[in-house]
Amino acid sequence: MQTISEEAKYTLQFINQTQRNIFLTGRAGTGKTTLLREIIKTTHKNVVVVAPTGIAALNAGGVTIHSLFQLPFAGFIPEEVAPQFSEFSQFETRKTLARHFKMSSLKKAVIRNMELLIIDEVSMLRADLLDAMNFMLQTVRKNRSPFGGIQVLFIGDLLQLPPVIRDDEWKTLRNYYHGKYFFHSHVFQNNPPLYIELTKIFRQKDDVFIALLNNLRHNYVSQEDVDLLNRYVISPSDLQKHTGYITLSTHNAKAEAINTKALADLEGTLHTYLPDVIDDFPKKIYPVEEQLQLKVGAQIMFIKNDLNPEKRFFNGKMGVIKSLSEEEILVQFPEEDKAIVVEKYEWQNIRYFVNPDTKEIEEEVMGTFVHYPIKLAWAITVHKSQGLTFDKAALDVSQVFLPGQAYVALSRLRSLDGLILLSKLQMNGISNDEDVMLYAENKVNEEILGEILHQETKKFLLDFLKNSFDWNQLLQEWRNHLQNYDQKSEKSSHYFWVKKQVDALIDIVEPARKFKIQLDQLFSRETIDYQFIEQRINAAYDYFFKVLDDMVYKVLWKLEEVKRAQKAKTLFDELTFLEEIQVKSVLRLMKAKLMIKTIVSGEVISKENLFSEETKLYKSKKITTVQNTFKEQHFSILEDEIADNRYKSKSKTQKKPKKNTVQETFELWQAQNSIKEIAVLRKLTTQTISGHIAKLIEMQAIKLHEVLPEDKIQELSEAFKGYQEESLTPLKEKYGDQFTWDELRMFKASVAPNN
């Protein structure tokens, strides 16, 4: 991760070492997105990322709020009243919203196993939607604590896009809310999170510009600030004299008109490029226009950062189309006097699921969208410029219609040197929302953050350890199962077996209660002796683990028996649930032991330190042991095949977590899969996989002769002799069908400088 600020470090620590809810904000260019990725990468907690819109969710690598929580698009009234309807809008209440919570077991498992919820682009989150999310989490998790007991990280800049509430909706909602922002929600007001603001700026270096943006952000704009900005005003008719500028407009129609006219004015052939869309990737979340239309000379910008180590471009970098062909786009950076071939980018539509072995929340790719990560860039709306960085921009903000739009537009720029204004700014057009400015006063200073972190870490550690030795809920679930037995039912013969498991748990619940009291006493001391606590944890672990581990073995054995019985689907499902929570209690105990070890060794509480090979393989090893022993005693191959599929849920197929896309292709290649086979397995096109193979050849992970026959390599070697062009188009035109585009790319990768 790049160098991060003290506030960012505090945020990472609060996420991993406390249960405290956090509101993380910061002006444009302070690294919120970078920090989000670092949290997802390093946290030991089961994390889920959501955002208010499909595009925002895609960019954050998560899912939409409405899809995860199964919420309707109606407004929400946070009371037990009858639903209200009008000619234009309808509302849900606590009484009616619960009917939407009938969800799949996969989704319920995700929500019940969730430990950290990250809400990105939170400026767009409505107050009533956050209250609906809270009600849903409390209901499905059966926990009346705020957000059902999970930690929530809110990320966003409140001076960017505000929530959208229609006037007819607000007429009703204003009876329940003081404002429309997420911080006006009831759950937020009653449980305010810690307010952390990132202040270190990575985008701008010019102190004068930084000071001006800060004034603009906080509504302290002076006449001197306005006079400074107005020095950069030029006539719109003179804009054509200034090359490489993108116009930022407040209206979408105006931006589209500028791009359409500029493209039409260029001479030459119009080339159209379409995406490769595999499986489930809805049109409403396409990250770029489906049809990318370009001509040589078109001004474009990149909408993603370069994934290559060279970092040749960034999100918002401008360029000009140098050459085009059916399979290749060459972009020139005039001021750098260099050109690059644009590689296609993969966007993934994901959903979350719980790994049945580790109980960790992982991601499943539902579909992919592969396209060139560029778009026409003579103009763009202020709205769509969020998250982008420009070296040169012409601002058309004479018709600012939302608070903060002038600030958002200006903050896209690296410096004032790249600024052009197409009209003078007026003082009355650059103010920000008063509610937002008032809430911004809740920011906590660094000194207080340190004190809170110290206290909250101690509380988190104590709670985590105590909860790891708390099996009351586990015991209650076993008791509930026992009470369901009927002497006439198919499962009556298993009654005494279940009774033994209940008795085994009863025997350890009381000693565990006394141990938790001891932990309270040890943590209440002025100076905490963590080494002694580790000794006590290890001794308790050795005592309790044997019982819990033995119960896992026995319930897995019982499942082997039951799945061979006829008409036992209900019992099988109930035992599967008990097995899941039994395994979860063992894994939690193992994690507690690793956590206290991490504290004593002075290391960081992170995913790396709290998950060992032992925890990852615990369940799979236990299943293997049980099944092998069972088959030795009850050998019947035919019966085993039937039993394994008798009660298996169709929706519970084993999923694979999302990995680095090139790395995943490499692993499948190592497993002796062909390019076509990998494409099918990855839900990608063969062309995309061939692109991965070319990259792996350049990285020297794969040798060219592993992919292409020697005679083809020899022919390519002859064709490339003396060839210095960056573009492969002239070579393709010269040799036609003798070589495919993929063969040319792979050979070029094999002779790259690092090879």
Rounded CA separation 2/36 (Å): 13
- In the prediction, which pLDDT does 722 show? 87
Rounded CA separation 106/70 (Å): 13
* Burial letters 612-632, b for 16+ CB under 10 A, else e: eeebeebbeebbeebbeebee
Where would I find the beta strands (DSSP E) of 274-344? 276-279, 292-294, 299-302, 318-325, 328-333, 338-341
Q: What share of the chain is helix, strand, coil (3-state, %, to 5)?
A: 50, 15, 35
Rounded CA separation 654/470 (Å): 30
* Burial letters 299-311, b for 16+ CB under 10 A, else e: bbbbbbbbeeeee
Q: Sheet containing 345-354: which strands, arranged edge to edge?
A: 276-279, 361-371, 345-354
Name the DSSP letter for residue 181: B
- In the prediction, which pLDDT does 638 show? 45
Q: Are 659 and 649 in contact (CB under 8 A)?
A: no
Name the DSSP letter for residue 382: T
Residue 72: what residue type?
Answer: P
- In the prediction, which pLDDT does 492 show? 76
Collect all residues with Cβ–Cβ distance below 8 Å to 161 and sequence separation of at least 6: 121, 123, 124, 383, 386
Rounded CA separation 272/346 (Å): 19
Which among 153, 149, 381 has a CA at the least distance from the CA of 250?
381
H or E element, residue 248: strand 246-249
pLDDT, averaged in runs of 10, over the chain (755 residues): 71 93 84 87 92 82 89 86 65 83 81 93 93 94 93 88 85 91 94 89 78 78 84 88 89 91 94 91 88 95 84 88 93 89 90 82 88 94 79 78 68 89 70 73 81 91 95 92 72 85 95 96 93 96 96 93 80 89 93 94 88 88 90 64 54 48 88 89 87 89 92 92 86 89 91 71
Rounded CA separation 507/499 (Å): 12
- Number of H helices and E strands in the chain, helices first, is 28, 22
Structural tokens at position 693: 């193979």
Which among 216, 122, 217 has a CA at the least distance from the CA of 163?
122
- In the prediction, which pLDDT does 682 show? 85
Degrees (nearest 5) of the Cα angle 433, 434, 438?
125
DSSP letters along 196-211, please? EEE---SS---HHHHH
Q: Are 586 and 552 in contact (CB under 8 A)?
A: yes
Rounded CA separation 112/138 (Å): 10
Using a 10 angstrom Cβ sphere, with 0-12 exposed, 13-18 middle and 19 or more buried, the burial of residue 661 is buried
Q: Are 465 and 459 in contact (CB under 8 A)?
A: no
Structural tokens at position 494: 């298993």
Q: Are 369 and 356 in contact (CB under 8 A)?
A: no
- Whole-number Cα distances in Å, 667 to 679, 686, 705: 13, 16, 18
Please count the residues of the chain.
Answer: 755
Q: Sheet containing 22-26: which strands, arranged edge to edge?
A: 63-64, 47-51, 116-119, 151-155, 22-26, 194-198
- In the prediction, which pLDDT does 653 show? 41
Residue matched to tokens 């061979």: 564
Please tell me whether residue 11 adopts helix, strand or coil conformation. Answer: helix
Rounded CA separation 198/33 (Å): 11
Backbone angles phi, psi at 519, to 5 degrees: -60, -40
Rounded CA separation 443/238 (Å): 44
Degrees (nearest 5) of the Cα angle 615, 348, 332?
125
Collect all residues with Cβ–Cβ distance below 8 Å to 727 and sequence separation of at least 6: 322, 323, 328, 330, 339, 341
Q: Are 105 and 649 in contact (CB under 8 A)?
A: yes
- In the prediction, which pLDDT does 656 show? 47
